[in-house]
Amino acid sequence: MKVGAKFPSRMPTAHILKQIAFPPPPTAFQPTVLLDGSVRAPQISIRDQGRIRKACRMAGLDAAVAVGLPFEEVKFKKAVQPKGNIKEIKLYEKEKKIAESMARMDERIAAWKEERRKAKESAKPEMPF
């Protein structure tokens, strides 16, 4: 059974707890760009940064303030076209068009009945005999 963040399946390791108790300088969390343009990985790996962030969250601390981790970026999903081949895309568009038509169907039926009634009225002779 999986339980929320308050009851972790494993406690953080001693190394992670040490990073929280005695935080390293903020530059340890950033990658280093050398003079020739190559990038060197941060001293504390991204995976360990995630573990530190999770341990801080369990302890009720803000990882950016308490330890000096970079702030978490809020990522939004992009609205994209549905994946699939041409047949599936056309089917999606067709279903969308049908749904829109069905939403307007009551108005179309009322207009058709009114039109039919007017045609019937105009076809009647003016004299009753």
Do 24 and 53 belong together in one domain? yes
Q: Which pair of tokens denotes residue 39?
A: 């990038």
User: Quick one: 61 and 90 in the same domain?
Assistant: no
Range of the domain at 27: 14-66
**Total domains present in the chain:** 2
Task: Give residue-wise pLDDT tens across range 14-44.
Answer: 999 999 999 999 899 999 999 999 999 999 9
CB neighbourhood size of 99 (10 A): 9
Cβ atoms of 85 and 92 closer than 8 Å: no
Whole-model pTM: value is 0.51
Q: Is residue 1 scored above 60 in pLDDT?
A: no
50-69 pLDDT, tens digit each: 999 999 988 888 988 889 89
Rounded Cα distance, 48 and 19, in Å: 10
Both 53 and 95 in one domain: the answer is no
98 domain residue, yes or no: yes
| 6 found inside a domain | no
My answer on whether 54 and 18 are in the same domain is yes
Q: Is residue 128 part of a domain?
A: no
